[in-house]
């Protein structure tokens, strides 16, 4: 997933690319922003599921001792 930040010139959301110590900004369109939000939601859901599984496993280990 590419890095997204605010453009220092226009203040809009943009993709950041760094090549030879030169940072370039490419503006994101609304469709791209919606796609990025979807990707973030999926990543957060996976993280949440893993955290819940680890909590359940920890509780099981605690109850065995």
Note the pTM of the prediction, 2 decimals. 0.52
What does the alpha-carbon distance between residue 63 and residue 65 come to, in Å, rounded to a whole number? 6
Cα torsion through 12, 18, 20, 22, rounded to 10: 20
**Tens of pLDDT, residue by residue, the chain (65 residues):** 568 788 888 888 888 888 888 888 888 777 777 888 899 999 999 999 999 999 999 999 998 87
Of 13, 47, 41, give the one whose Cα is nearest residue 28. 13
Contacts of 9 (CB under 8 A, 6+ apart): 25
Domain boundaries, the chain: 3-64
Cα torsion through 38, 35, 17, 9, rounded to 10: -110
């Amino acid at each position: 997933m590419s890095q997204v930040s605010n453009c220092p010139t226009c203040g809009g959301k943009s993709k950041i690319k760094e090549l030879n110590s030169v940072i370039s900004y490419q503006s994101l369109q609304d469709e791209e922003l919606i796609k990025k939000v979807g990707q973030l939601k999926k990543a957060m859901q996976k993280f949440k599921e893993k955290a819940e599984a680890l909590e359940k496993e920890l509780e099981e280990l605690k109850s065995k001792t």
